[in-house]
């Protein structure tokens, strides 16, 4: 029995030690901080095609409530919730400030990552690895952390009401997310005067800011022609006509790209045209039938236009040169949201002194000890276009300096120090914007 007792004792001591170790670790993990709250959000698998919106909604709601903010869930399409957080201003009749971010992210291939993409692993260098760490769960949490500090450390009270929106589906076009939100009665009731949305990391010590997005247009070209023996040369086969069309498109693409290479335009200022798929041929058990010229051929393109481009000119070019009906070619265009605002103007937010919101934003960055790079157009597309369409001045901004641009890439990470500095920057921006006493003249209708 004594032997058993001894073993029992040593076992229980061991177990106790383990328990102590375990409880210390748990305590450390549960010690809430801006970083751990960021990690909690990063660990929710909100990647397409099956984003876990439910868990994200409950996390964001509880984080908002923990700082005494109202949070409501709106749903404009089944299973696609949107969280709207509100901090009422002392003068709620003034147009409000909206801080937007999207909950969803693009998929990640774990085998290409140093750490599992939803582990939010923080390395000894302070890099936090996760899908969504830059795009754009960082800003989603920074908004809340900045407000937490303004409320509890600075006893700040906003003049204008501040809203934060967490929207679904940005990465798949925003149709059931921001597009429906912007068109809703609920949105109209927010009386938004100015909006901040996501931006991109900067590799230098200057913050980047975006005043316009490029407009996405998906193009599919189809060619048909008489099929024939693979040995015969004759005119106007589907393949020949599609190949000629590809040559013309390549020429156009090359001319646009040359402007960028020569330093005459930023890549966001030209029309990009990139082939994304080719489809033709008759499948056979071993691959493709090699001695028949097919009667159909098809190609798809991702096209992005700067906001000042004339889509009608490009459409004419497509009809006349890229997919001429005289060559038995047809085309389909899918437009990615609005190209002009409700007054027919390009979707551009003035990033100069004519826009008081711009001045306040710029001053706030400087006040936080930051430097601002020359404002840019975003080469890709964000939800901001839906709000610019309503005439609401909107800037794209994510406070990440000295950070490699890793959106949609393997091993996306953000350094903890960059994340924390971003909270300070938002404290300055949010307090400045929400204190702006511009009267009622800067509403969504007049801005």
Ligand X SMILES: *[C@@H]1O[C@H](CO)[C@@H](O)[C@H](O)[C@H]1NC(C)=O
Catalytic site includes residue 104: yes
Smallest CA-to-CA distance from 84 within 186, 170, 194 is with 186
Smallest CA-to-CA distance from 404 within 200, 138, 203 is with 203
Catalytic site includes residue 353: no
Specify the residue, 42 or 242, whose C-beta has the smaller distance to Zn ion.
42
- What is the DSSP-derived secondary structure letter of residue 243? H
- What does 135 interact with, of ligand X, Zn ion, none (CB < 5 to 8 A by kind)? Zn ion
Of 74, 266, 348, 405, the residue at the interface with ligand X (CB under 6 A) is 348
Output the 3-class SS for 48-98.
Answer: CCCCCHHHHHHHHHHHHHHCCCEEEEEECCCCCEEEEEEECCCCCCCCEEE
In angstroms, give the least distance from the CB of 184 to ligand X: 28
Annotated binding residue at 198? yes
Dist CA 52 CA 199 (whole Å): 24
C-alpha 423: how far from its chain's center? 19
In angstroms, give the least distance from the CB of 351 to ligand X: 7
- What does 55 interact with, of ligand X, Zn ion, none (CB < 5 to 8 A by kind)? none
Of 104, 136, 197, 376, the residue at the interface with Zn ion (CB under 5 A) is 136
Specify the residue, 31 or 353, whose C-beta has the smaller distance to ligand X.
353
- What does 176 interact with, of ligand X, Zn ion, none (CB < 5 to 8 A by kind)? none
Per-residue x/- track, 213-242, ligand X (CB under 6 A):
-----------xxx---------x------
Quick check: helix, strand or coil at residue 377? strand
Of 189, 285, 354, 374, the residue at the interface with ligand X (CB under 6 A) is 354
Dist CA 119 CA 142 (whole Å): 19
Smallest CA-to-CA distance from 402 within 370, 374, 379 is with 370
- Asked if 135 is part of the footprint of Zn ion (rule: CB under 5 A), the reply reads yes
Instruction: Evaluate whether 210 touches 396 at the Cβ level (below 8 Å).
Output: yes
Catalytic residue numbers, as ranges: 104, 170
Binding site for Zn ion (CB under 5 A): 135-136, 198
Residue ranges that bind ligand X, judged by CB under 6 A? 224-226, 236, 327-328, 348, 350, 352, 354
Binding residues: 102, 135, 171, 198, 408
């Amino acid at each position: 029995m004594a032997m058993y007792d001894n073993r029992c004792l040593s076992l229980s001591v061991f177990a106790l030690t383990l328990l102590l170790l375990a409880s210390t670790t748990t305590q450390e993990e549960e010690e809430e901080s801006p970083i751990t709250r960021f990690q909690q959000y990063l660990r929710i698998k909100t990647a397409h095609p099956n984003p876990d919106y439910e868990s994200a909604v409950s996390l964001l709601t509880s984080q908002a409530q923990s700082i005494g903010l109202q949070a409501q869930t709106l749903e404009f399409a089944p299973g696609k919730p949107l969280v709207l957080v509100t901090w009422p201003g002392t003068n709620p009749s003034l147009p409000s400030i909206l801080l937007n971010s999207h909950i969803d992210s693009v998929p990640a291939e774990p085998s290409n990552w140093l750490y599992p993409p939803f582990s939010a692993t923080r390395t000894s260098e302070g890099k936090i690895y996760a899908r969504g760490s830059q795009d754009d769960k960082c800003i989603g949490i920074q908004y809340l952390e900045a407000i937490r500090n303004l409320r509890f450390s600075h006893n700040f009270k906003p003049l204008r009401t501040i809203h934060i929106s967490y929207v679904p589906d940005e990465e798949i076009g925003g149709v059931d997310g921001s597009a429906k939100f912007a068109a809703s009665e609920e949105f109209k009731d927010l009386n938004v005067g100015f909006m901040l949305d996501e931006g991109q990391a900067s590799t230098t010590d200057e913050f980047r800011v975006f005043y316009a997005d490029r407009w996405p247009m998906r193009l599919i070209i189809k060619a048909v022609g008489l099929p024939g023996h693979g040995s015969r040369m004759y005119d106007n086969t589907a393949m020949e006509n599609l190949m000629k069309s590809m040559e013309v498109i390549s020429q156009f693409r090359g001319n646009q790209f040359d402007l960028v290479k020569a330093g005459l335009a930023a890549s966001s200022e030209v029309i990009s045209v990139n082939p994304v798929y080719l489809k033709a041929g008759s499948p056979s058990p071993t691959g493709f039938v090699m001695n028949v010229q097919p009667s159909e051929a098809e190609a798809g393109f991702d096209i992005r236009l700067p906001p000042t481009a004339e889509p009608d000119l490009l459409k004419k070019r497509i009809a006349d040169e890229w997919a001429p009906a005289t060559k038995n070619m047809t085309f389909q265009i899918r437009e990615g949201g609005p190209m002009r605002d409700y007054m027919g103007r390009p979707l551009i937010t003035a990033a100069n002194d004519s826009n008081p919101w711009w001045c306040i934003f710029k001053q706030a960055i400087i006040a936080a000890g930051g430097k601002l790079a020359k404002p840019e157009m975003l080469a890709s597309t964000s939800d901001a276009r839906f709000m610019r369409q309503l005439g609401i001045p909107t800037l794209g901004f994510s406070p990440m300096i000295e950070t490699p641009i890793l959106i949609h890439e393997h091993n996306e990470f953000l350094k903890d120090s960059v994340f924390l500095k971003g909270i300070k920057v938002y404290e300055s921006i949010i307090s400045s914007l929400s204190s702006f006493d511009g009267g009622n003249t800067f509403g969504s209708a007049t801005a």
